[in-house]
Amino acid sequence: MGSRLFANITTLPGGYDFREASQRAHVAAQLGIEPARISAQPAKSYDEIIEAIAAGKIKGLWVIATNGSHSWIHHRRFNELLGKLDFLVVQEMYHSTETAHRADLILPAAGWGEKDGTLINSERRIGLVKKVARAPGMALSDFHIFKLIAQYWGCGEMFREWSSPEAVFQILKRLSRGQPCDITGIADYRMLENCRGVQWPWPENEADHDDAGTDQPTLPCPPVIERRLFEDGRFFHNDGRARFIFERPRPMPERTNPEFPLLLLTGRGTSSQWHTQSRTSKSDVLRKLYPAQAYIEMNPLDAERFGIVAGGIVRVASRRAHVTANVVITPTVQAGQAFMPMHYVETNALTFAAFDPYSRQPSYKACAISISAL
């Protein structure tokens, strides 16, 4: 959620629009940089970066806290494309991820509890993260890695005000003023700690400062009751109305046929697995709670149709790759479909690269496969 408020490919920090020259100038002034340094064009989305590598337009890639060699759709092609790069940098807590194995340079990053900062959760609450342990070895917080690289690239002066994570929080506060995500009423990290987090928006005009008879103003916490957005039916557009993007439903981008008769669905497996298992696979306790071998679930009718027995090993094939997996036969999967957890590296060797045309969000959810007994 924080990336959507404080800059991703669709916005500038604070929710400003990069397409508007006046808004680019305002953000530049708050950051103390020249307006020309802010592009009027959006950055490339994840899939566009990958295709630019394929086209030879990107020669160096800096990957931060993500593991595309495991998670990207049709990841065998992804890994082949990484081999085309002149230089691959991976900034990561763990040197053991599949992407880190391919890196020319690893920048070891500190983890949660080893650095200071803030986060925003899905109910808009900004919370404080406090450093309680020193990062091991040469690891540094992402903040300090960025600062050092800026210094050695010769642009450290641009970040002179960025003396600490809390100093950057104050910059972000300035950028939020008058915006839907206005947090100018949050004084500092101490207030976040005292209030156990603060929901945005919390502008100065709502924060009732009472400094009578004190040297320091008392900054009361927002009310504990839920503060919901849009209860008045007005949204953050000039006309106050919501905007939706919608289209008529389309057929699946990859359909089944006699060669690949089943539809593979992917998703989360167990509560003891998370994403690409960069962390959960390190825990002896968690590893005991899920199968080590990749598995696929299929309906009893399909199992009978294809001669599959429960607990057997099967070959799962798509138009891109084939993998082996243990089979689980269960009526909870609809006939004509199968399911594999996304946490196994085998799963995304099979998947089909399709992307939402507006958000560029990838669809990992379905592709055509065949299953045969081994």
Percent of the chain having pLDDT more than 70? 95
The predicted pLDDT at position 243 comes to 92
For domain 2-199, give the CATH number: 3.40.50.740
Contact of 293 with 368, CB cutoff 8 Å: no
191-243, pLDDT tens digit by residue?
Answer: 999 999 999 999 998 865 444 333 445 567 887 777 889 999 999 989 999 99
Percent of the chain having pLDDT more than 90? 74
How long, in residues, is the chain?
Answer: 374
Q: Which residue has the higher pLDDT, 309 or 226?
A: 309
110-127, pLDDT tens digit by residue?
Answer: 999 999 999 998 889 999
Secondary structure letter of residue 155 according to DSSP? -
* Lowest mean per-residue pLDDT among 113-122, 159-168, 210-219, 308-317: 210-219
Q: Which residues contact 269 (CB under 8 A, 6 or more apart)?
A: 290, 341, 342, 343, 344
pTM over 0.85: yes
The predicted pLDDT at position 213 comes to 36
Joined tokens for residue 57: 């337009």
The predicted pLDDT at position 34 comes to 93
Question: Nearest CA to 349 among 322, 367, 374, 314?
Answer: 322
Contact of 201 with 183, CB cutoff 8 Å: yes
* Separation between Cα atoms, residue 362 and residue 59, nearest integer Å: 23
Would the pLDDT of 326 be above 70?
A: yes
Question: Nearest CA to 262 among 300, 311, 317, 327?
Answer: 317
262-373 is classed in which CATH architecture? Beta Barrel (2.40)
Domain positions in the chain are 2-199, 262-373
* Separation between Cα atoms, residue 191 and residue 173, nearest integer Å: 14
Question: Nearest CA to 308 among 326, 281, 322?
Answer: 326
55-106, pLDDT tens digit by residue?
Answer: 999 999 999 999 999 999 888 999 999 999 999 999 999 999 999 999 999 9
16-52, pLDDT tens digit by residue?
Answer: 988 999 999 999 999 999 999 999 988 888 899 999 9
Q: Which residues pair with 64 in a beta bridge?
A: 91
Secondary structure letter of residue 218 according to DSSP? B
Q: Which residues contact 204 (CB under 8 A, 6 or more apart)?
A: 184, 185
* Separation between Cα atoms, residue 167 and residue 84, nearest integer Å: 39
70-142-272 Cα angle (round to 5): 40
Joined tokens for residue 155: 């642009």
The predicted pLDDT at position 5 comes to 79
266-291, pLDDT tens digit by residue?
Answer: 999 988 999 998 989 989 999 999 99
